Amino acid sequence: MPAYSLQINGKTHKVNTEASTPLLWVLREHLALSGTKFGCGLGQCGACTVHLDGSPMRSCTLPISSLQENQEITTIEGLSPNGKHPLQEAWIEEQVPQCGYCQSGQIMQAAALLDQNSQPTREEIISHMNGNLCRCGTYTRIVKAIQRAADANT
């Protein structure tokens, strides 16, 4: 089985697995970074969203062999040193999560937006977040929380 070296949340991790194994299983099952969730395995729901060199990616559709050793992977566990990213605080203020299962993916997706665009419009927020499903129906609060975090940026 091939060996891989990954940069995740600022640390180097070595993993032995088949070349086709999605990054999602590597994170969750090999490295016990379980904040990143499995929802569909098909790039349809966004529960598995992580950052690859700062861009939001669906880790369920990224085979480990497609990653370069020097690419920086960030998961929800590494988004902020203390869980106090402005989005995480806004998420608490707006009481966004219900079951919570989709929320790591939502926050990672939103964080990538604010990195690029600190003052997104409502339309920009919606189009950026459209790939992330929430079965509990927290969408209206997600929009409010992103707006709140953006306001906190100013």
Beta partners for 15? 4
Chosen from another protein, ligand FES, none, partner binding at 110 (C-beta under 5 to 8 Å by type): none
| Alpha-carbon dihedral sign for residues 91, 35, 40, 112 | positive
**Cα–Cα nearest to 66, from 27, 24, 19, 33:** 19
Residues binding ligand FES (CB under 6 A): 38-41, 43-48, 58, 60, 97-103, 134-136, 138
Contact pattern from residue 63 through residue 82 relative to another protein, giving x for each residue in contact according to CB under 8 A and a dash for the rest: ------------xxx-x---
- Say how many residues make up the chain: 154
- CB 40 to another protein: min, Å: 4
What is 32-53 written as a DSSP string? --TTS--S-SSSSS-TTEEEET
- The site for another protein (CB under 8 A) is made up of 17-18, 20-22, 25, 28-29, 32-42, 44-45, 47, 75-77, 79, 83, 88, 91-92, 95-104, 107, 126-127, 129-143
